[in-house]
Amino acid sequence: MGSADSKLHFRKAVIQLTTRTQPVEATDDAFWDQFWADTATSIQDVFTLVPAAEIRAVREESPSNLATLCYKAVEKLVQGAESGCTSEKEKQVMINCTQLMTRILPYIFEDPDWRGFFWSTVPGAGRGGACEGNDENARPLAESLLLAIADLLFCPDFTVQSHRKPGPEIAEDLHSIDSCEYIWEAGVGFAHSPPHSHIHDLNRTELLKLLLTCFSEAVYLPPTSEGNVLNPWVQFFCSTENRHALPLFTSLLNIVCAYDPVGYGFPYNHLLFSDYREPLVEVAAQVLIATLEYDASTSQSPSVDGTTTSTAMDDTEPPGPENLFVNYLSRIHREEDFQFILKGLARLLNNPLLQTYLPNSTKKIQFHQELLVLFWKLCDFNKKFLFFALKSSDVLDVLVPILYYLNDARADQSRVGLMHIGVFILLLLSGERNFGVRLNKPYSVRVPMDIPVFTGTHADLLIVVFHKIITSGHQRLQPLFDCLLTIVVNVSPYLKSLSMVAANKLLHLLEAFSTTWFLFSASQNHHLVFFLLEVFNNIIQYQFDGNSNLVYAIIRKRNVFHQLANLPTDPTAIQKALQRKKKSAEPISRTNSQEGMSMEGSRPAAPAEPGTLKASLIATPDIEKLTEKSQVSEDGTLSRVDQDQVQTDTPPEDCAPTVTSDTESTSGTCGVQENAVVCQAVWKTIPQNSERRRKPSGFSTSNHWSPSPDWVISWKTKLPLQTIMRLLQVLVPQVEKICIDKGLTDESEILKFLQHGTLVGLLPVPHPILIRKYQANAGTAMWFRTYMWGVIYLRNVDPPIWYDTDVKLFEIQRV
C-alpha cells in the first residue's frame, strides 16, 4: 500500500486539478506526472482520494483539464505498451494509470455531452505507424486505450511469464511477440499451463477491471426495444483491429474453466492463504460475458441453427458476427474442449453446494450468476456444445446447481434475475429431446434443499423444486409459472417413471390452478391448466407403462378432472367464483400438498435482508413469443409448426403488447406486478398495486377485463380431457372392483395392479408431441444485457466502480 507521503502528494494533485480554473498545458509533465508517480497506491486509495464530487466538478468547471488528464493517462498506457514496461517504475506507472482511468471513466459516460469524447481523434496519435502530423489518420482515444490494454495483457514480466532467457539481451518487443504463445492457462486450444505468478494475476485483474469499465458505457444508455444496439467499445475490442483477440478470448475462457477454488482441499486453506486467482477469474468471467454481445434474432450467428455444421473451426468465411469473441466461441468444436469447458463450469457451479463436516472449511465462490450467463451464451451460440452437453449425463451436473439456486432464491426479491436466468437455461435445454431422456437418471446426490425427501430421478427433483417455487415463492415469480410448466411439458413425453411425491405435486398444481376463482380472475390463467393437462396426456400416451404412480394419483384426484369438464359458464356462477377470490388471501396454498420432511442439513429459503441492493429488470416477451412450436415426427426429427395450425386458446382481445419497464419497483404486493420480467401475459389482469410509479400504457385496457360466458366457453371446449377421461372410464371401475373383491385398503396392491395394467387400443389415437423451443428475439437480448450489467454492477463493490453514478440501463433499489 502506498506510504502516507505518496497519498498526500496524490491528493494535492487532485485538489490542484479541481481548484485550477485555467487549463493546465498538456506539455506540463511535472504537473501531470503527479497522478501516476512511481509510488504504489491501492485502488481503494484511488477511489478515496478522488471523490465523485470532485470528478464532476472538474468535468463541469474545467473540462479541458479533465480531457487532458484522460489523454495523458492514455498516452502513458500507450507508451508503456510500446516500451514493454521493462522497469519496476514503469510497471507501477501502468498500474496507477489503469486505476485512475477505472475511477474516472464512469463519470465521462454518465454525461451525454462527454460520451463522444473518447471517440474523437487526438492530434498526433496516428494509426499503424502513420506519421505524427497526419491527423486525418489519427486514432480515436478509445481505440488507443483498448489496444494499449490488449498489449499490456500480454506484456512479458508484467502480465505473462517471459520466454526470454536470462542475460543482457534487450527486452522482448511487444509488437513482434506472438501472444498465442502467452495464453494464460491451459485448456481450449492451448496445452501448456504456465507457472502461476500472483503479481501477474494482480496486474491482469487491474487491467481487466479497466477493460470492463470501458465496456460499461452500455449502463448509461436507457434500455431500448431494438436489440441490435452495439456497444462501440466491445465492437472495436472484438474486431480484427485487436491482434490479441484470439489469445485473449482463449485466456479468459481457460482461466475461468480451469479454476478450482478448493485447491489441494486442506480444510480452511482459503483462510490461511490469499487466493489471487479468484478475483482474476471473477473479472475474467465478467469481461467474457460482456464481450459476447450478439443479438441472434437480428442476424444468423454461425451456429444458432443447430441443423447446420457451421460450428466447425475450419470455416473460412463464417457468416454472422463481426464480433470475434462470439465467432471463436461459436466455432469451438473439439470434444476435449467441450469436456474441459463443461467440467470446469460444473465444478464452479457446484462449489457453493459442497458439504463438509467442518463448517465453512471450504471456499465458496460468489460469481455463479456470471457463470450461468456464460453457460447460456455457450448453449445459445454454439449448438454443438449444447448437443455435447446433452449427449451424456454431464448436463445433470449443471442442472442440479441450477435447481439448487432456484429453490434457494425463491423467497428473495433481490434475486429475481437469478430465478429468470435459471429458468431461461432450463427452457433452452428442455427444447432438446436428450434433456428429457437424461432426466430419467436416478437422483442420488443429496444436495441439502428444503424440499421433501424423495427417492426417484432428476425429473422428480425438477418437478418437486418447480412445485416449491410455485407454492412458496414470492409474488413476483408468478409470471414465471407458464415458463416452468412449459419446461415440464417439453420433457414429459420422455419421463419413464415419476415418483409418488412428484406425481402428487403435479396433481396439487392442477387442483390449485383449476379452482374456478383462479381460472376466472385473469384472462390467461387457464393456460396453466392446458399445460398441466398436456403433461398428463404426454405421459399417459407415451410413457404409461412405468408411470403407475401418476396414474394412481390421477385416479385419486379424478374429481378435479370431472369439475373441469363440468366447469360452469353461466354469469351467476362466474360472479360467485370471483366473490370467493376476494375472500381468499393467497392464490395457491400448500393445503392438500403432502409436504414431507425436508432434506437433512437444508435451510429454508430466506427473503432478502432489508436494505439489500438490487438492479431492476425489463420485461421480456410472453411464452408465445419466447418459444417456437415444433412437432416431433415418428423418426424423432423436429418440424416447425405454424402458429395458426396450433389450437389457440386466447381470444385476440386478450393480447396486450409486451412493454419494457422496471420490474422491481415495489416490494411484496398482494397482486402481481403487471410488468413482471417474463411471461407476464398470464398474470397481467390481476388487480395491480396502486404504488406503481410508471404504469405502461399498453396495459390500460386489461385492467377493465372481466370474464364472460362466451370467453369461458371459447377455451373450455378446447380442454384436452379426452385421454384422461378415457383412462378414468376404463381404470376406475377396475380399481373399485379390486378394492371391494379383495378388501384392499393398501395402495401398494393397487399400484401393483396398475403396473401390470394396459390401455393398448383403449385410448384415443396418440397426439403428436409438441415441443416449445426457445427462440432468440430482441426482447430477450435486451433482458440479458440488463440482467448481466446489473449483476456486474452489484458484484463490483470493492472498489465500487459504478456506485452512485447516473446509470440508465436499470435502477438500483433497496429491498
Q: What percent of the chain has pLDDT over 70?
A: 78
Q: Give the pLDDT of residue 386.
A: 96
Beta bridge partners of residue 813, listed in sequence order: 614
Instruction: Write down the pLDDT at residue 669.
Output: 30
For residue 126, the cross-strand partners are 138
Beta-strand pair 812-814/613-615: antiparallel
Residue 287 banded pLDDT, cuts 50, 70, 90: very high
pLDDT at 147 over 80: yes
20-30: pLDDT as tens digits: 878 888 888 88
Mean pLDDT in the chain? 81
687 pLDDT tier (thresholds 50, 70, 90): very low
Q: What are phi and psi of 318, to 5 degrees?
A: -65, 140
Which grid coordinates are listed for 410? Answer: 425463491
Q: Over the stretch 746-770, which tens digit does the pLDDT of each residue have?
A: 788 888 888 887 777 788 888 889 9
Cβ atoms < 10 Å from Cβ of 387:
15
CB 186, CB 258: distance < 8 Å: yes
Write the pLDDT tens digit of every residue in 236-271.
999 999 999 999 999 999 999 999 987 655 555 545
Position 235: which residue type?
Q
Which residues touch 403 (CB under 8 Å, ≥6 apart)?
A: 422, 449, 461, 462, 465
The rounded distance, in Å, linking the Cα atoms of 386 and 639 is 19
Global confidence as pTM: 0.86
Give just the sign of the alpha carbon dihedral 178, 179, 182, 185: negative
Tell me the three state secondary structure of residue 156. Answer: strand
